[in-house]
Amino acid sequence: MKKNKYVVYWLLTGCALIFVMVLVGGITRLTHSGLSISDYKLIQGTLPPMNDQEWQEAFELYQQYPEYQKLNSHFGLEDFKDIYFWEWLHRFIGRLIGMVFIIPFLFFLITKRLDRPTIKKAVILLIMGGFQGFLGWYMVKSGLVDRPDVSHFRLAAHLTTAFLTFAYSLWVALDLIYPDKKEVNTKIRNLIRFALVVLLLQIIWGAFVAGLDAGFIHNHWPLMSEGKLIHETVYIEQQPVIKNFFEGKSGVQFVHRYLAYVVVAFILAIWFKTRKIERTPLQEKGLKVLLAMVFVQFLLGVFTLIYAVPLWLGIAHQIGAFFLLATMTFTLHRFTK
């Protein structure tokens, strides 16, 4: 760790910035601000409009697209400024992340502070970051056509890539912080890996719920509307039936609400399985935080559903998913190397 401490600081700074970007992205989504900037200027778009003329030009551009024409035709310039801010901030943080990853990487490369394996991992991170930026614009483009809402598939890809980039950056940092190898319990490691896959599926379906505004229906727990375990709208909104679980509001909510129990079950299984083996202090800390975090996140999901996604609860639920992924990544690392 000591000789690599600045590289570790660099990677963890990137993790922190990705967290902030996901947080702001969630606010952008929940305040319906994501389509306020309908063009992409890599350099010129760094600063927001700086005078009345620039603001008016940006507003007139927004007025050319379906969101204004179909949903926000009552907006004045001040209303537009409010939603513009969040999308601009989200993109600004994305640009900042790009600089934070690229500039130190070049410095570390020139000064030979990176070994070959770390260089390869850093290049993968840069590619993931670039792909994430592309997905963001690809997502926005889907909402600039007839339907003034972004594709929930593209939203899920955008969000999941951000989570994966964070997790991989954290993993590379942990490799440098804890370079020593140890004996691995393959059964526990594989169980955590499988739980991580299930968690990622839950994050994807959470993005589907957000993209389809499916959190505003069936606002009951533990059962769906009318006290039903499976409401009939789960399987009749779309044809064929399987399509409901990817594109139907009730169907995607059904998957997301019941997959949460599967995530909890896996983490409980990990907890009880690890009671039977010897654990290092770091493994034990990771397991305790993981167990606590999954219940916190579960409760956040329940309250977000019951109260029909108020802004602060929606954001808290997204943050909870982020910390749950971080904790699971750390725990998996401690049981892998």
Q: What are the binding residues?
A: 256, 317
Q: Give the whole-angstrom CA distance, residue 68 versus residue 182.
A: 58
DSSP for 202-235?
Answer: HHHHHHHHHHTTGGGS---SSS-GGG-SS-THHH
Q: Give the whole-angstrom CA distance, residue 147 versus residue 206.
A: 21
Q: Give the whole-angstrom CA distance, residue 324 versus residue 318.
A: 10
Q: Give the whole-angstrom CA distance, residue 86 versus residue 295.
A: 30
Instruction: List the one residue out of 332, 294, 301, 329 whose CA is nearest residue 316.
Output: 301
Q: Are 264 and 294 in contact (CB under 8 A)?
A: yes
Binding site residue list for heme: 256, 317
